[in-house]
């Protein structure tokens, strides 16, 4: 049985504990799953025990050898999957930003209903339809090497000059031997209950797990 580590924490506005428990119950069938709210696990050799790590962390910093341990584990094959706030976390680590493939900048318009346009050109999205979600529409800086598998058209909010731009919502990428999957949905656990979001997330987890 493959092993998953859910690492959760940060401010309560992203409901880290509820999100972690929802994820363990609904997204990780077939995995032996461990939940931890202690970032220092990143400093230990235990990372190499897992097939996948799911950091559900908002803000925070990677200190000591957390960064180097995590990067080394992913380079050697540890899969990494996350969503929403992780692109706005661990901002003291440029290497982490390079690995995840994106940097959160803002969500113009705050909470709004927007369309997620799914590409069916990838096995992770095969058969999935485009769908609507009411949440924060993330505006990010993203790595052009990402394999984007879903995007949205930016509303712009108070920045109408941004309106109409295509913005990645979900992507996959490699880092050494490790596989990375990310999507920007999931401010609240209920957003993951949207059937297309849940299916996409489950597929991403299974794809990334070594």
Encoding tokens for residue 27? 């997204």
Encoding tokens for residue 57? 């962390």
198: CB partners within 8 A, 6+ apart? 26, 27, 192
How many Cβ atoms sit within 10 Å of the Cβ of residue 120? 13
pLDDT digits (tens, 9 = 90+) for 188-206: 999 999 999 999 999 999 9
Task: Find out whether 93 and 172 touch, Cβ atoms under 8 Å.
Answer: no
Q: Parallel, antiparallel, or unpaired for β 79-83 and 178-183?
A: parallel
Angle at 176 between CA 106 and CA 52, to 5 degrees: 70
Question: Is the pTM value of this prediction over 0.85?
Answer: yes
Cα–Cα distance, 159 to 55 (Å, whole number): 31
Task: Find out whether 54 and 4 touch, Cβ atoms under 8 Å.
Answer: yes
How many Cβ atoms sit within 10 Å of the Cβ of residue 18? 15
3-class DSSP assignment, residue 103: strand
Q: Name which of 69, 29, 71, 33 is nearest 51 in CA terms.
A: 33
Q: Parallel, antiparallel, or unpaired for β 102-106 and 178-183?
A: unpaired
Residues of the chain with pLDDT under 50: none
How many residues are recorded in the chain?
210
Sign of the alpha-carbon torsion through 179, 193, 188, 17: negative
Query: According to the model, what pLDDT value does residue 210 have?
Result: 82
């Amino acid at each position: 049985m493959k092993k998953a580590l859910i690492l959760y924490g940060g401010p309560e506005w992203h409901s880290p504990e509820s999100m972690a428990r929802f994820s363990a119950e609904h997204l990780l069938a077939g995995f032996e799953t461990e939940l931890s709210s202690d970032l220092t696990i990143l400093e230990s050799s235990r990372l190499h025990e897992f097939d996948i790590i799911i950091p559900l962390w908002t803000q925070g910093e990677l200190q000591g050898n957390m960064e180097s341990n995590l990067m080394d584990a992913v380079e050697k094959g540890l899969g990494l999957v996350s969503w929403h706030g992780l692109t706005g976390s661990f901002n003291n680590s440029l290497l982490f930003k390079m690995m995840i493939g994106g940097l959160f900048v803002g969500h113009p318009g705050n909470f709004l209903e927007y369309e997620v346009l799914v590409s069916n050109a990838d096995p992770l999205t095969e058969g999935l339809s485009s769908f609507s979600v009411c949440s924060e529409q993330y505006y990010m800086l993203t790595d052009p090497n990402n394999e984007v598998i879903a995007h949205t058209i930016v509303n712009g909010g108070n920045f109408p000059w941004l309106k109409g731009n295509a913005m990645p919502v979900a992507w996959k990428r490699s880092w050494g031997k490790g596989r990375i999957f990310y999507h920007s949905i999931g401010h609240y656990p209920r957003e993951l209950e949207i059937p297309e979001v849940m299916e996409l997330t489950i597929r991403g987890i299974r794809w990334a797990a070594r």
